[in-house]
């Protein structure tokens, strides 16, 4: 199943990415960075999760991977201040990026 199909299914609430991805390792938090120089070495495909402040980016990551609490969430806008790297498997990394703007 293609990543776009998985994302559409998650948006409809009919599936989670974990049902379609075979993991040889459990998804895990790798590192939080404040500057590009601190970024971990690329390890396969990287997907950046970006959007407005308080739009549910961190919640999406935890829900998509069916791992509640993997990405910390808050009701307060702007809680994610750094780029947070999550290793999904040996070939894929998701990066939870800080939001832009202030959602009202």
Residue 104 has pLDDT above 80, yes or no: no
77 Cβ contact partners less than 8 Å away, ≥ 6 residues apart: 53, 54, 99, 102, 103
User: Which tokens sit at 54?
Assistant: 């308080």
According to the model, what pLDDT value does residue 56 have? 85
The 10s digit of each residue's pLDDT in 50-86 is: 988 888 888 888 888 888 878 777 777 767 788 999 9
Higher-confidence residue of 18 and 87: namely 87
**What per-residue string of b and e applies to 39-62 under the rule 16 or more CB within 10 Å gives b?**
eeeeeeeeeebeeebbbebbebbb
- The whole-model pTM stands at 0.71
**Rounded to the nearest 5°, which phi and psi values hold at 47?**
-115, 125
According to the model, what pLDDT value does residue 19 have? 54
């Amino acid at each position: 199943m293609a990543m776009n199909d998985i994302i559409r299914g998650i948006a409809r609430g009919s599936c989670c990415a974990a049902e379609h991805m075979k993991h040889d390792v459990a998804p895990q938090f790798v590192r939080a960075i404040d500057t590009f120089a601190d970024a971990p070495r690329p390890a396969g495909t990287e997907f950046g999760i970006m959007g407005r402040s308080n739009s549910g980016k961190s919640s999406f990551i935890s829900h998509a991977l069916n791992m509640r609490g993997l990405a910390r969430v808050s009701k307060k806008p702007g809680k994610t201040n750094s780029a947070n790297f999550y290793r999904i498997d040996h070939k894929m990394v998701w990066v939870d990026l800080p939001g832009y703007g202030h959602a009202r």
